[in-house]
Amino acid sequence: MTTLRNLAAAFLAAATLAPAAQAADAAHPIVIELFQSQGCSSCPPANANVNALAARPDVLALSFAVTYWDGLGWKDVFAQPQFTQRQWDYARAFGNDQVWTPQVVINGRANITGTKTQPLLDLVAKTDRGSGGPALALAGSDVTITGSAARPADVWLVRYDPRSVAVSIKAGENGGRTLPHRNIVHELVKLGRWSGGNARFTLPAARTPGLATAAFVQAGNGGPILAAVRG
């Protein structure tokens, strides 16, 4: 009898939680962040896997070039200290005492090297946050957010190049290779804090023309991503 009662309770709990398990879609994309460097010989396979995922409508793939390879033979033309700091935020959140490349972070909730296709796809599916969370919209020069918040969260603007850009590497571990890049991040701006309810944030002027725009809500530095939207 106890076993039957437990099974019934488990079934009821699963049925109750089912709506929250809806898969992400184009309006609620999975955020996949690749931390990489043109000077890292291990990065091209992860770069290729994330480039392929970038074609999915339910994915917002972002490639962050970090700086700590810059003194080892080749300076990454896209690297920014801010992106290295973002990776360190994740390291502290995940309990790591160092950073490395390549690293793929999915929805701010899990990480993997990303060099092997199937393990990466499996983790993307496992970490899908669904279509829940606050409602986020980009319109004109504003981003709006509506919903409830368990605690304050950060609202971020990201501008990236959606094209496939080939870069010829002249030195370092990848010297002599031409590497394709996609969704390289050029600008990452914290717009402010959100504590629930309705809020509107004005986007700053773009420093570089022709970039794509996206926004996301994140529960603190290195925390889980609660919502994301593409412009």
Strands (E) in 97-173, as ranges, are 103-106, 110-112, 135-139, 142-147, 153-168
What per-residue confidence (pLDDT) applies to 22? 56
- Look at residue 110 and tell me if it is in a domain: yes
Q: pLDDT tens, 70-80?
A: 999 999 999 99
- Is residue 139 assigned to a domain? yes
Q: Longest C-alpha distance within the chain, in Å? A: 71
pLDDT for position 9: 35
Mean pLDDT of the chain: 90
Domain of residue 216: give its range: 24-230
Question: Could you read off the pLDDT of 80-91 as tens digits, one per residue?
Answer: 999 999 999 999
In a domain, 131, yes or no: yes
Does 159 have pLDDT greater than 60? yes
Is the pLDDT confidence value at 157 over 90?
Answer: yes
Nearest to 114 by CA among 158, 73, 63, 150: 63
User: What is the number of domains present in the chain?
Assistant: 1
Q: What is the pLDDT of residue 17?
A: 28
Is residue 175 in a domain? yes
Q: What is the CA radius of gyration of the chain?
A: 19
Separation CA 77–CA 117 (nearest Å) = 26
pLDDT > 90 fraction of the chain, expressed in percent and rounded: 84
For residue range 89-108, list pLDDT tens digits in order.
Answer: 999 999 999 999 999 999 99
**11 in a domain, yes or no?**
no
8 assigned to some structural domain: no
pTM for the whole structure: 0.89
Tell me, what CATH number does 149's domain have? 3.40.30.10
Say whether the peptide bond before residue 44 is cis (omega within 30 degrees of 0).
Answer: no
Task: Tell me: pLDDT of 6 over 80.
Answer: no
Is residue 50 domain-resident? Answer: yes
Measure the CA dihedral 96/182/123/18, to 10°: 120
